[in-house]
Structures are given as structure tokens and as C-alpha cells.
Copies of this chain bind each other. A is one copy, B any other.
């Protein structure tokens, strides 16, 4: 397990540090999107706030995790699929936010529908956020 995570770091030309291993492990274990605050709590205040911010930013830059826009003004992060690389994200899936438990899921199998945009507008990226109740909360 640790080895697999180490590999991810090495493949991205990143030093293997306790902090990075721990944060990547949290994403792998939880299988859902996490906020900076979530990680700070889960890591048992072991790492400095600033370090966590920088680590998340590094991971986003490297295409290891992606950010998810949310309605309540908090940035969420989730693991990318293998198709993402440095500077090139391909996270074309729908995000689901459960209003009951607050969990944010990446629905990897649900693709973004085509949206027809008025003449004169050109589209780079489309984000779809769905709010509702997840399968564990009903």
C-alpha cells in the first residue's frame, strides 16, 4: 500500500515524505472528496496547516488530485484518474453532494452531458454538481 503511494509520488518527481504519504493515503482510504479542513482533522494535527495547503496545491498541479466547485464556498479535493497529468486534467465526471452526510462523490461513470451554449461563447470545461441524498443516507 505504502509502496503504491510512493510510486505515485516518484512518478511525479516528488520527494517521498511522511506528510505526502499520509495525505495520499487519506484520499485512498476514504474514497471520497476531502477538504483541507477534513485532512487537517484526520491527520491528527500532526502536520502544519501551511504544509497541507502546499501539498494539496502540489498534487493539483501534478494532476494527482482535482478540485471540485461547491455551493458553500469550500474547496473539495479528490483523486484523479490515471488519465490526468501535470497541467492536464481530464476530470469529466459528475460530482454528487449528499445533503445529509455532506459527502462529495466523484461519479466516474456518469459523463458530463452536452450543453448547448449561445452563439459567441466557447466552452473549455463543464462542471456538473448534483445535490441530493446518497445511497447510504436513505
Chain B residue with the shortest CB-CB distance to A74: B73
Copies of this protein in the complex: 2
Contacts of A118 in B (CB 8 A): 107, 109-110, 135
Q: Counting CB contacts under 8 A, is A126 at the interface?
A: yes
Knowing A126-B129, A132-B125, the reply to whether A110 touches B119 (Cβ < 8 A) is: no
- Determine whether the beta carbon of A110 is less than 8 Å from that of B115: yes
Contacts of A114 in B (CB 8 A): 113
Q: How far is the CA of A116 from the CA of B126 in the complex (A)?
A: 16
Encoded as 1 (CB less than 8 Å from any B CB) or 0, chain A from 89 to 107 comes to: 0000010100100000001
The reply on A8 being an interface residue by CB < 8 A is no
- Which of B67, B69, B75, B131 makes the CB contact (< 8 A) with A123? B131
Interchain residue pairs with CB less than 8 A apart (20): A67-B71, A69-B72, A69-B129, A73-B74, A94-B117, A109-B118, A110-B117, A119-B135, A120-B134, A123-B131, A123-B132, A124-B132, A124-B133, A125-B130, A125-B132, A127-B129, A127-B130, A127-B131, A128-B128, A129-B129
